[in-house]
Chains A and B, each alone.
Chain A
Amino acid sequence: GAGVSQTPSNKVTEKGKYVELRCDPISGHTALYWYRQSLGQGPEFLIYFQGTGAADDSGLPNDRFFAVRPEGSVSTLKIQRTERGDSAVYLCASSPGTGFTDTQYFGPGTRLTVL
């Protein structure tokens, strides 16, 4: 079956611009996570959705970052007034949401470059 997909695969933008990154989770998965991975580092938690609601957004670095999941499936990570330090690979993962030890399935990521 189809895995987690993320679009675009690459995004180059200029400092100060607004960007949207999209995540299509595995069909039927109610749990969705966003992570950010900088060069040489592991994934850094940003936000966790259970259904349509953000159950934990404690990883969002500041109010320039926002994520939505209006219908409980596709999610969009929105970054306003981008800064060069936002350059990273943004990873999305989904899991069935049926149990605490569900496996997270990751997408390939979106590489964001802020010039």
Chain B
Amino acid sequence: DQQVKQNSPSLSVQEGRISILNCDYTNSMFDYFLWYKKYPAEGPTFLISISSIKDKNEDGRFTVFLNKSAKHLSLHIVPSQPGDSAVYFCAASANFNKFYFGSGTKLNVKP
């Protein structure tokens, strides 16, 4: 039973444009959400997080939006750069001990 879903396995975007990666969850008890970035042969690297008391969090080119009523979060990258090409995972937690990850979206930013 997958509680965190990323329905788009891949996304291709032109350099300089916006990348929007989406994530849906089913467990209404989740109150902390994160995005990780992963390059081949490396472990995931933390990118940005948001708690359920907020609906938006920004860090430079990265913004995460949370829509609790729709159980949906998204990651916006503006402007996209070729170095952003990687697999992006969203993750969620209800108790900060156990984290549930989506299956990932592979982003390709074309020069």
A interface vs B, CB < 8 Å? 4, 33, 35, 40-45, 48, 55-56, 58-59, 91, 93, 100-101, 103-109
Find out whether the CB atom of B98 lies under 8 angstroms from the CB atom of A100: no
- Contact sample, A vs B, 28 pairs, CB 8 Å cutoff: A35-B101, A41-B103, A42-B6, A42-B89, A42-B101, A42-B102, A43-B99, A43-B101, A44-B101, A45-B98, A45-B100, A48-B98, A56-B97, A59-B98, A91-B43, A91-B44, A100-B96, A101-B32, A101-B51, A101-B96, A105-B43, A105-B46, A106-B36, A106-B44, A106-B45, A107-B43, A108-B41, A109-B43
Query: Which of A33, A42, A59, A103 touches B104 (beta carbons < 8 Å)?
Result: A42
A90 CB, min distance to chain B CBs, angstroms: 11
- Which B residues between 33 and 62 are near A, CB-CB below 8 angstroms? 36, 41-46, 49, 51
- Which B residues between 61 and 109 are near A, CB-CB below 8 angstroms? 89, 91, 96-104
**Chain B residues with CB below 8 A from A104, complex form:** 46, 99
**Chain A residues with CB below 8 A from B102, complex form:** 42
Pairs A-B, 3 closest by C-beta atoms: A106-B43, A42-B101, A100-B96
A102 CB, min distance to chain B CBs, angstroms: 8
Find out whether the CB atom of B98 lies under 8 angstroms from the CB atom of A58: yes
Query: Which of B44, B46, B51, B99 touches A45 (beta carbons < 8 Å)?
Result: B99
Question: Which B residue's beta carbon lies closest to that of A42?
Answer: B101
A35 to B89, CA, bound (A): 14
A63 to B101, CA, bound (A): 23
Question: Which B residue's beta carbon lies closest to that of A55?
Answer: B97
A108 to B38, CA, bound (A): 10
- Besides A42-B6, A44-B101, 15 more A-B contacts (Cβ < 8 Å) are A41-B104, A42-B4, A42-B101, A42-B102, A43-B44, A43-B89, A45-B99, A45-B100, A45-B101, A55-B97, A56-B98, A100-B32, A100-B96, A101-B32, A109-B43
**Chain B residues with CB below 8 A from A108, complex form:** 41-43
**Chain B residues with CB below 8 A from A40, complex form:** 103
**Chain A residues with CB below 8 A from B97, complex form:** 48, 55-56
